[in-house]
Copies of this chain bind each other. A is one copy, B any other.
């Protein structure tokens, strides 16, 4: 079906360090565990309550994975934009199981760091290592192909694009 949109936007903190898996062909994938929380006052008791939601985030594409490996740690706060994908798998007893991930792919997905602390207690800080990584940069914001040499319409991820 054309004419559809599948988009997730999260701002939250990593519950643990990023986990990277490498495939036989050298491709990489990175799993993030991201917490979002909300709090509200119970209308009956008047107590403040809080609920934390945990999200399985999958980064695909070598550039995104490299950024996560280098800059993200348990506790890091990030903005991610991706899409919902539900995977089917079999448990040990052979039963079908389903898991839903937020997939941030090389193109179209976005990962932006919102602090530089990396959750390690050292370094970082306000003027420090803040960084961001947008896997889908919109290129020269001043124009498309007009102006200057014709752009090779590259896209993809370029070492030089690491923005720190």
Contact = CB atoms under 8 A, between A and B. Distances in A.
Contact of A4 (B13, B60, B119, B149): B13
Given A3-B114, A27-B146, A126 B75 contact: yes
Q: What range describes how many residues of A lie at the interface?
A: 35 or more
A161 to B, nearest CB: 6
Contact of A1 (B12, B41, B121, B141): B12
Contacts of A139: 40, 43, 105-107
A52 interface: yes
Copies per assembly: 4
A77 B114 contact: yes
Contacts of A5: 9-12, 36, 79, 110, 112
A94 to B, nearest CB: 13
A20 interface: no
B11 A106 contact: no
Interface string A5-41: 1111111110000000001111111000001111111
